[in-house]
Structure 1
Amino acid sequence: MLTPNCSLETVSSVGSNMSIGCPHSSLLCGINMSLLVNVSSVDLDELCLSEDEYLALHLGPLRSPIFAPVCVTYLSIFLVGVLGNSLTCAVILRYKAMQTPTNLYLLSLALSDLLVLLLGMPLELWEMWRSYPFPLGEGGCYFKTFLFETVCFASVLNVTALSVERYIAVVHPLKVKSLSTRAHVKRVIVMLWVMAMICAVPNTSLHGILLLPPKFGRPFPRSAMCYLVKPTWMYKLTILISSLAFFVLPVLVMGALYFLIGLTLYRERGMKALSAMFGVDSVPEDHMQRLSRRNLQVTKMLCVLVVVFSLCWAPFHVDRLMWSFLDTSSQLHLMIFEPVHIVSGVFFYLSSAVNPVLYSLMSTRFREMFSHLTCPHYNWLNHSSLRLTQRSTLSHKATSNTKELS
């Protein structure tokens, strides 16, 4: 088969002879010959490209070159995250003793993480496997953007509300009965999710299905991508406001709250030492020690959760801000952005999987309940040992009381 003559001189002579060289090949490609008048050299280079070659030239490769390592990493996070968050939800919903105000916020956070892992991650992996066309249409594009924005905002709001609840429990314990009831916490959680959905609308409305413009009268329906379709200044403003309102400000608030909590716990320890020194003992010492240990353990766990949460979400917001102000025509900017985008994606999904691991490592109660749920044999042994411990304790107390009476 003869190679078409696509030189500029050949195309310029289209009017005199419609059957020579490249014009004939162009007709076979479905290109309107009247559109070949005054073509540039760049257009001429693209004239006889196949559709796959043309899409790869303008949209990049169909499959991400780093799909394999990212897929392995994501699937590892997926397995740990889905298992851990499912166990967290099951433990809190099954055991009445675990349905504390603090744990209800953790339940809401676990549901948010499950949505990210079960719905968000498969969509992103599919887009890395086939970058275009977007398979779910315009409605699917809105759903994807709305889902990501909603769970992002809901996660931040839940962690912030959790920090406020812990602050009230430690610093203002007298207000706990009125502000930390289960009914009150459930209302707050519903309000947080509604607020997250409302705040997700602006960025969702900026996205839609974007197609490459027709070239030489030839459309490209396979170029459909879920992308920004509104002016970039609107996107920049939206991302800047959301990063400040849903990351920078909450992190500062949570940092201040845990600083105050730390000061309060330090003062309580000092007051306890003074009480022991002067013989003031208004509350049984063992009871105070149990409350203090429990309070300290929960606070430590949540403080670590906030630190890990902030570290995992920082790359995500850096990625969004970089993309907002990125010069896409600069190869240097694109080279810098690519590793940031990969790292931000890994940390984003890691934040959805790490929380149950923290609960297991730092919370004795969660660790025991996870064991009860997953290991019935261990559950039976633990209950037996608990009953024996309680009997021996009661026997010891009875003996002590008998000695005192005698």
Structure 2
Amino acid sequence: MDSISNYSYFQNDTDYYEEQSFSLFDIHVLVPVTIISSILFFLGITGNLLTLFIFKRYKEMRTTVNMYLSSMALSDILIFLGLPSDLYRIWKYKPYIFGDFLCKFLFYLSETCTYCTILHITTLSVERYFAICFPLKAKTTITKCRVKRVILSLWVWALLTASPILFLFGVEDRNGSLPDEAKECNYIERSAHTGLLETMTWVSTIYFFLPVLCLTLLYGLICGKLWRTRHKLRGPQAASREKYHKQTVKMLAVVVLAFVLCWLPFHIGRILFAQTTTILYDITQYFNLIAMLLFYLGASINPILYNVMSQKYRKAMSKILNYSQPCYSSKPSCGISHSGLEV
């Protein structure tokens, strides 16, 4: 889970829950949350692995768009590595038994992948803007080699900007007694008092709202361009190119909308947490629990959206699934056709 949001329901007035065996929620809340999380874990890992396999298996699927989507799928898979730890901490937030290194690493990995996904969505949208609004220039500048370098730079930048998390989070004894039983995987109070916690909260917030503003502007310009040129294009190739652009933009717009809806509650949760009082404490705790589920939903939903929005993705998926079934020559679905397999 996003680490800056994560602290908001794993700390603050923890003595309030001491009588509940160090569990933040009742059993009737924990069980359904665990079931839902397990389903999301399975869907997220399986769906994103299949996405990587599809884009790798079929040469015609290795477009620049799909290169970004493949990297996003890898990021989403890595996000799910933190789900078991999050579940453990809502069942029993202390003592944290997995050690300081794993605590720091999972927070860092989650924050890095969160930043990386946002950067990929924004960069991909910028690429689509140039491809549609400046097609001649884009044809020479947007190459697979350059896209690979861009993707690598996005990962490096995400790793660097998330690195303060390594100094902000860790295993700490909050009560000053019974160190083995009171250890929590949370933000370190000493580091938080230096202003690092507030700084990273601002960084994470900017990482969300600034790209959302850019995405809104970009898709507005793209839609305007497609609307103005809808009757000007002539010839079958121009019509086919326009149809491809519309399908791609439509799919990416749905992906962006899902991203905003699934991750917006984190930032609302931070605002609520900053204004939290004892009276509002229960409300913010449950709100952030829902935000956690939405976060992992956002990491698992993209393959489902590709399957719904892209007919060619569905065809590629059906071909992969047919490998596990007996194939008879009379079946029209047998055999692999590589025509037109791109999202």
* Corresponding residue for residue 181 of structure 2: 222
Distance apart, 1:146 and its partner CA: 0.5
CA distance in 1: counterparts of 2:129 and 2:296, whole angstroms? 28
SS, match of residue 315 in structure 2: helix
Is 1:316 aligned to residue 279 of structure 2? no
Does the C-alpha gap of structure 1 residues 270 and 163 become closer, same or farther in structure 2, counting only changes over 3 Å? Answer: same
User: Which contiguous aligned blocks of 4+ residues in structure 1 show a shift greater than 3 angstroms?
Assistant: 54-61, 212-215, 320-323, 376-380, 382-387
Higher relative contact order (CA 8 A, sep 6+): 2
**Alignment match of 1:254 (pick from 215, 228, 235):** 215
CA distance in 2: counterparts of 1:220 and 1:250, whole angstroms? 42
Alignment of 1:3-402 (within 5 A): 58=18, 61-63=21-23, 64-65=25-26, 66-117=29-80, 119-214=81-176, 219-229=178-188, 230-232=191-193, 233-244=195-206, 246-272=207-233, 285-323=235-273, 325-327=274-276, 330-376=277-323, 377=327, 381-382=332-333
CA distance in 2: counterparts of 1:57 and 1:99, whole angstroms? 51
CA distance in 1: counterparts of 2:155 and 2:79, whole angstroms? 14
CA distance in 2: counterparts of 1:108 and 1:386, whole angstroms? 25
CA distance in 1: counterparts of 2:328 and 2:16, whole angstroms? 57
SS, match of residue 97 in structure 2: coil
Distance apart, 1:189 and its partner CA: 0.6
Distance apart, 1:343 and its partner CA: 1.3
Contact 1:211–1:224 under 8 Å retained in 2: yes
Distance apart, 1:252 and its partner CA: 0.5
Contact 2:175–2:182 under 8 Å retained in 1: no
Contact 2:127–2:142 under 8 Å retained in 1: yes
Unaligned runs of 5+ in 2: 1-13
* Corresponding residue for residue 19 of structure 1: none
After superposition, give the CA deviation of every residue in 1:41-89 in whole Å (9 maximum; x if it has no partner).
xxxxxxxxxxxxx988658533342220100111111122112111100
Distance apart, 1:385 and its partner CA: 11
After superposition, give the CA deviation of every residue in 1:140-196 in whole Å (9 maximum; x if it has no partner).
121011011101100100111110111111111112233321111111011001111
TM-score computed with the length of structure 1 as normaliser: 0.73
| Matched residue count | 316
CA distance in 2: counterparts of 1:128 and 1:378, whole angstroms? 51
Does the C-alpha gap of structure 1 residues 286 and 131 become closer, same or farther in structure 2, counting only changes over 3 Å? Answer: same
- One-letter code of the match for 1:359? Y
* Corresponding residue for residue 10 of structure 2: none
Contact 2:131–2:139 under 8 Å retained in 1: no
Contact 2:263–2:294 under 8 Å retained in 1: yes
- One-letter code of the match for 2:100? E
CA distance in 2: counterparts of 1:207 and 1:326, whole angstroms? 22
CA distance in 2: counterparts of 1:253 and 1:235, whole angstroms? 26
Does the C-alpha gap of structure 1 residues 98 and 269 become closer, same or farther in structure 2, counting only changes over 3 Å? Answer: same
Does the C-alpha gap of structure 1 residues 122 and 311 become closer, same or farther in structure 2, counting only changes over 3 Å? Answer: same
Contact 2:104–2:166 under 8 Å retained in 1: yes
CA distance in 1: counterparts of 2:71 and 2:328, whole angstroms? 28
- One-letter code of the match for 2:106? K
Q: Select the structure of larger CA radius of gyration.
A: 1
* Corresponding residue for residue 278 of structure 1: none
* Corresponding residue for residue 7 of structure 2: none
CA distance in 2: counterparts of 1:59 and 1:317, whole angstroms? 30
Unaligned runs of 5+ in 1: 1-53, 273-280, 390-406
Q: Which stretch has the larger CA shift, 100-109 or 173-182? A: 173-182
Distance apart, 1:294 and its partner CA: 1.4
SS, match of residue 146 in structure 1: helix
Does the C-alpha gap of structure 1 residues 291 and 331 become closer, same or farther in structure 2, counting only changes over 3 Å? Answer: same
Does the C-alpha gap of structure 1 residues 369 and 378 become closer, same or farther in structure 2, counting only changes over 3 Å? Answer: farther
Contact 1:209–1:226 under 8 Å retained in 2: yes
After superposition, give the CA deviation of every residue in 1:197-256 in whole Å (9 maximum; x if it has no partner).
1111123311122213445xxx33211111121235431232023202x11000010111
SS, match of residue 280 in structure 2: helix
Does the C-alpha gap of structure 1 residues 313 and 175 become closer, same or farther in structure 2, counting only changes over 3 Å? Answer: same
Q: Among all aligned residue pairs of Structure 1 and Structure 2, give the percentage whose two residues are the same amino acid.
A: 32
